[in-house]
Structure 1
C-alpha cells in the first residue's frame, strides 16, 4: 500500500513538470516594457510601431482626446512638452529620451524608449521621486528654475522651448492661467533684441491698461536664443514721476519773470525758462544745445549782457570764483549793463552737484530808488533853506528827518537827525535845553495819538532866554511835523548868526 502511494506521488509530480514544460514560455523581455508593470500602474503608457499606436494603458487617454498615431500624441503633448520628438526616428537614434515639461511647476515628464522596433512612451509623475540628471541639451534648467527673473529659450523656429518659473508666472499674469507657454510673451523677432546690450521692452498686463517694463538681454545658444528679463517697473515709474515733475516745474518756471539757468554736475545747461531768453537775448537754439557753463557766460559777454571786464584773464578768474561762490550758495551780484539795464544775478547750489543761476531785471527798482533818493535830496535841500526849525516824526513815533535850522537850534548833527530814535528820546533832549514846561509832554502825546488830531501851538522858553513858538501839525499817514519859530526875530537872527559863526 505504501508503494502505491509513493508511485502515485511520483506520477503526479512528473505530470506537473511535463505540463509546465509543454506550456508556451513568456518572453522575459516583456517585463521591461509591459503595460502592467507596478511602476506604470499610475502612469500613461503608449506603444507605437512606427507612427501607429498599437497599445496603451487603461488610463492613457483619460482626459485626452482620441490618439490614433504619433502625430496625435505630439499634438496633445506639444503645449507642455514642446521638445517631444516630431517622429519616432528621433527616439530610435537616441535609444532613450527624457523630456521635461516647459513649465517647471508641472511635476511630470515624458520618457521615450526604443525596444526592438517598438517605441514606448510613458508620462510619469516625478513628484516625490529623486530628481534625475537632465540631458546635455538642457544644461541651464537646474540652475535657472529658481531664478527671480524670467529666463526662456527660444528655438530657431521662434517657439519657446524652455522657461523658468518666473517666466511662467509672468505669462500667466499677462495672458491668464491657461496661456500657451510656447508662444513668446515678448516680440518673437530675435533681431529686435540686439546681442550684447540691454533692450527696454514692455508687455501689457491682463486688464490691457497697465504695462510691465523689462530690460531684455539676448544671448546666443546652440539650440536657439536665450533671453533674460529684468523687472524695471520701479525705474520706469521713477522716470515718469521725474519727467512729470520736470514738466510741472517747467510750466511753473515759464510763468516767472526771473530768468533761470540750471547747470548739471557736468556743468552743462540742463534747464532754462523763457524769461532767460528775454533777459539775455540768447537764441533758443543755442540754449537748447545745452552749452557748457563757460560757453554760456562767453556768449553773454559777446552779447554785452554782462559787465565788460578790463581783461579776459581776470574775467575768467572771476568766472571761476563765481562758480565756486555759487556752489556755496553765497554768490550775489548786481550787473550794470552797457545798455543801462541793471540785473541782479545770484547763484544757488542744487542737489547732485548742480548749480542754478537766477537773472532778475531790477532796472525799474533801481530807477525808482534813484528817483526817490533824488526827491528826498531835493526835499531835504528845500527844508534846509527854511528859517524855522523843523522835525518830522513817523506814524510810529520814530524820528524821520530834520532840517539844518533844527540842527543849529538844538545842537544836533546831520547824522544824528537820521538815527532811529523815538519821540521820547527827542523830548528828553529838548528838556535839557528848555525850562520846565508841560508842552513837551503834550507834543509826545500828540505824536503817539491816532485819532482826533488837529494843529495846535504853544510857547516854550529855552535856557538861553530864547522864546519859541512850537507848532505841532498832523500830516498824512499818521506822521507829525513840529515847527519851532522864534518870537523875537531880531534877537533870534542875531543868536542864529552867532550860532552859525
Structure 2
C-alpha cells in the first residue's frame, strides 16, 4: 500500500516539473533587440529659439549646455561665447541661411542653425549617451566643479590663448588684472608675449601699466604649449623688481662712493664672479677695464694678476692655485690678510672679507709708503739703540705712565738686570727698589718717583749716589719729549771702599 502511494507522488512531481519547464522554455513574443530598444533612453532635444538677437526659449538640455540659469537673459553674443569652444568660431551676427557646424573633437555632434522667418532655431544633435558615459560624466562634473572653484580662488592670473594671441579662457584673477590695465579680458592678450615656436615651455618677464595706481605691474609669465594653443600662468614679481631696483641703486651709490676710495675693491658674488669694482682697483692692479667688465670669476681674476706680475710669484703656482679654495674659505670667514711684496718694489695689503649673500670682497691697499716709513723708523730706532749701547753711562728711559721703555747695555751691566727678558713691565717703583737695594741710604728715590709720574714743572736735576761696593755715581734726571723721563747714571772717580754702616748710621 505504501509503495502505491509513493509511485503516485513521484508521478505527480514529474508531471508538474514538465509543465513548468515547458512554460518557461516557451519563446517570447518580443525579441531581444526590441526589448533593448524599448529600455533605451530617449535622447532629449537640445534646441534654442531666438527672435532677433535675443533668446526667447531653450530646452533644459540647452541650458545645461550653455551653463545658464532658468531666468537668465541671453543673446546671440552669449551663445557665440558658449558654443565657440564646442563648434568652432560662430559668425558675429545671426546667419540668414541654414548653417551646419560639427564639433572638432566629435564629428557626430552637429549644430544646425535654421532661420525660420523672424526666428532662428539652433538644434544640437548627436549620438545618445550610454549609461557608462553618463556615470563617467557625472564623476567628471564633480571634478569640474572643484577645478572651477579652485581656478576662481587662485590669486595668480591663468589664461589660455590661441596661437594668434586671442584669449580663449581665463580665470577671475586674469579679469582683475585686465581691469587694472584697462583692457577687455576676452580680447587679445594684454601682455606682450612671443612664445618660441621650437620650445614647449617659456618663461617671460613682462610689465604692464596699472591705471588704478599709476604704477607698473610686473609679472613672470610661464607659457606651456597645449593642443589648443598656449596656457599661461602669471606670477606677480613686484617685490622682486623693487628689491632688484633697490639693490641696483645701492650698487650705483656704492660705486660713486668707492670711485674716490684709494683702496682697490673687488666684490665677488656667491657664484664667485666679479660684480663690483672701483677705479682704484684698475690703478693698483693694472688690470684692463674691459676684462673686469665681463665679470670674470675668481680664478681668472688671480690668473690675470699673476700675468700682470701684480702678485708674488709662488714657488709652485699650480699648488697655490689648488689652495685657492682655502683662501676663499678664509676670506669667507673674515680671516684672510696677506702682505704682497711685489717685484716692482711695491707692497700691497690684501684683505678678504665676507660679503652678504655668500659673496667675498677683496681690498687691495698700497702700503708701500707705510712700510718704507716703518722700516726707516725701525732702522733709526736700531741705530739709536746701538749708539746708546756704546755709551759708558747707564741710561734708562721711563714713559709718561712710569714704565721702563728702554735701557742700554751699560745699565744692564751696572744694575745686573735685563728688563727685556721679563714677561711683565718694569715700573719706576720696581726700578728704584732695585737701585735702592744696591746703594747706600738716600732720600733721592722718592723724589725720582714723583718726578717721573709728575707732568708739570719738571726741570733737570741730579744727585750723588754711593753704591755698596764703594763706587760713586751721579744720577741725572731730565724730562724728554712726550712726557717721558731719562735717568742717567755716570761713574765718578775710582772705587772708594765704605765701612759697613753702623746701627747709628742706619
TM-score normalised to the size of structure 2? Answer: 0.67
Mean alpha-carbon deviation: is it higher for 78-87 or for 371-380? 78-87
Structure 1 spans left out of the alignment, 5+ residues: 1-31, 34-44, 57-71, 97-111, 122-130, 493-501
Is the Cα–Cα contact under 8 Å of residues 396 and 406 in structure 2 kept in the other structure? yes
The structural deviation recorded for 1:203 is 0.9
1:86 aligned residue (89, 92, 110): 92
Q: Secondary structure at the match of 2:202?
A: coil
The structural deviation recorded for 1:369 is 0.8
2:337 aligned residue (319, 332, 338): 332
Correspondence 1:449 to 2:454? yes
1:170 aligned residue (162, 166, 177): 177
The structural deviation recorded for 1:423 is 0.9
Following the alignment from structure 1 to structure 2, what is the Cα–Cα distance between the partners of residues 188 and 455?
Answer: 91
1:211-234, Cα deviation, whole Å (9 max, x unpaired) = 111122334556554432221222
Rate the CA distance shift 1:94–1:294 in 2: closer, same or farther, 3 A. closer
Match of 1:402 in 2: 407
Q: Secondary structure at the match of 1:424?
A: helix
Following the alignment from structure 1 to structure 2, what is the Cα–Cα distance between the partners of residues 143 and 198?
Answer: 23
Correspondence 1:239 to 2:240? no
Match of 2:425 in 1: 420
Match of 1:147 in 2: 154
Match of 2:184 in 1: 180
Is the Cα–Cα contact under 8 Å of residues 399 and 419 in structure 1 kept in the other structure? no
Alignment of 1:335-346 (within 5 A): 335-346=340-351
Is the Cα–Cα contact under 8 Å of residues 455 and 472 in structure 1 kept in the other structure? yes
Following the alignment from structure 1 to structure 2, what is the Cα–Cα distance between the partners of residues 323 and 231?
Answer: 37
Rate the CA distance shift 1:426–1:276 in 2: closer, same or farther, 3 A. same
Is the Cα–Cα contact under 8 Å of residues 195 and 223 in structure 2 kept in the other structure? no
The structural deviation recorded for 1:332 is 2.5
Is the Cα–Cα contact under 8 Å of residues 95 and 114 in structure 1 kept in the other structure? no
1:430-457, Cα deviation, whole Å (9 max, x unpaired) = 1111122221111001111121222222
Match of 2:15 in 1: none
Correspondence 1:478 to 2:479? no
Match of 1:230 in 2: 235
1:364 aligned residue (362, 369, 372): 369
The structural deviation recorded for 1:161 is 4.2
Following the alignment from structure 1 to structure 2, what is the Cα–Cα distance between the partners of residues 305 and 407?
Answer: 47
Correspondence 1:379 to 2:380? no
1:299-348, Cα deviation, whole Å (9 max, x unpaired) = 22222222223344444455454344434443332221111111222333
Correspondence 1:215 to 2:220? yes
Is the Cα–Cα contact under 8 Å of residues 79 and 180 in structure 1 kept in the other structure? no
Alignment of 1:94-113 (within 5 A): none
Following the alignment from structure 1 to structure 2, what is the Cα–Cα distance between the partners of residues 163 and 273?
Answer: 50
Is the Cα–Cα contact under 8 Å of residues 402 and 417 in structure 1 kept in the other structure? no
CA RMSD of aligned residues (A): 4.2
Q: Secondary structure at the match of 1:305?
A: coil
The structural deviation recorded for 1:167 is 0.9
